[in-house]
Structure 1
């Protein structure tokens, strides 16, 4: 078998391992244990909001917010979406707002019709911001698909994860931030 990985895929996997290294795998998580990565940037340069009217971080203050950077042609994003959808369904009633930020890797992913069709295929019902010019991506200094940022009720980024995996840990952080709220 000839297994060749691009530099982007290797860096993507390494970043996921480093980002997730801040918490023990199965330990109970309290919000006090979580680092503070600073204030969450506002959504910027969004061309279109899908499944929602326009959202702002300021308007979401008081809620826990999960920012999920994704693009529909990315296989890693496709594999994480069932978890993301489940978190939105399970935790939205408890105070979580999940916002997908669709930032295209390829030109055909810029089409709103293609994004909408992909959202239907993937069962995405949470708000999605179409970030075709990478403005929100750049505001977060993001470099990866998929990338998860969890923001506490005060608007501070408290957790980052890049790539697939760490689903139990991410869910534990969601619960901890909701409990703190």
Structure 2
């Protein structure tokens, strides 16, 4: 009888674990991928300050391919990821790619505007950077990771996401494919 109860408990625990794992894999693709719904990209919400750019809106960015890069200046993964973001900006900027770094702090000291400005200077970041201390844009995108990249097509639709380091060649292919697509006249 005791063995039977333990077996039932083990089966129930396994079923719960599988359900949680399935939910997690649906909500958060392992490393990212295409977003088949192609929903309109969220607006930049509750940005405290903009650097290297005047404030940007998704309406102003229509007709461009946009890479939104969530990062923070003391995240080692973000720092290893940054040279790739810089390369994409340099390689594809003239073709219509706009890079927007959304700096969302992980730690309290990363909320400092002065420290962020110093990091932008030290890291030689030239693309637009939005300071997202209130997590407004982070939440609007439903983001959960540093670094995380979201690609937006010329029509303002969210079409691809990737989180973490790696798969840089795949992200570059997605950028190239989006740059090859014409913008539609849809609103």
Fold match by TM threshold 0.5 = yes
SS of the residue aligned with 1:39? coil
Aligned mates of 2:37, 2:99 — CA distance in 1: 19
Highest RCO, 1 vs 2 (Cα 8 Å, sep ≥ 6): 1
Deviations along 1:106-131, whole A, 9 cap, x unmatched? 11101111111111222210000000
How many pairs does the alignment contain? 156
Please identify which structure carries the higher helix content. Answer: 2
Query: CA 1:118 to 1:16, structure 2 compared with 1: closer, same or farther past 3 Å?
Result: farther
Q: Is the 8 A contact 1:16 1:163 kept in 2?
A: no
Secondary structure of 2:32 counterpart = helix
Q: For residues 81 and 18 of structure 1, do their structure 2 counterparts lie closer, same or farther at Cα, with a shift above 3 Å needed?
A: closer
Equivalent residue of 2:58, what SS?
coil
Aligned to 2:43: 42
- The aligned residue for residue 62 of structure 1 is 63
Structure 1 residues 81-160: aligned runs within 5 Å: 81-160=82-161
- Return structure 1 stretches of 4+ with deviation > 4 angstroms: none
2:32 alignment partner in structure 1: 19
- Report deviation, 1:84: 0.2
Shift of 1:65: 0.4
Unaligned runs of 5+ in 1: 1-10, 23-33
Higher alpha-carbon Rg: 2
TM-score by length of 1: 0.82
Q: Is the 8 A contact 1:43 1:136 kept in 2?
A: yes
Q: Distance in 2 between matches of 1:115 and 1:18?
A: 27
How far, CA to CA, are the matches of 1:37 and 1:117 in structure 2? Answer: 36
**Structure 2 gaps, min length 5:** 1-23, 183-187
Alignment partners' CA distance in 2, 1:138 and 1:45: 10
Structure 1 residue 36: deviation in Å?
3.6
Alignment of 1:1-16 (within 5 A): none
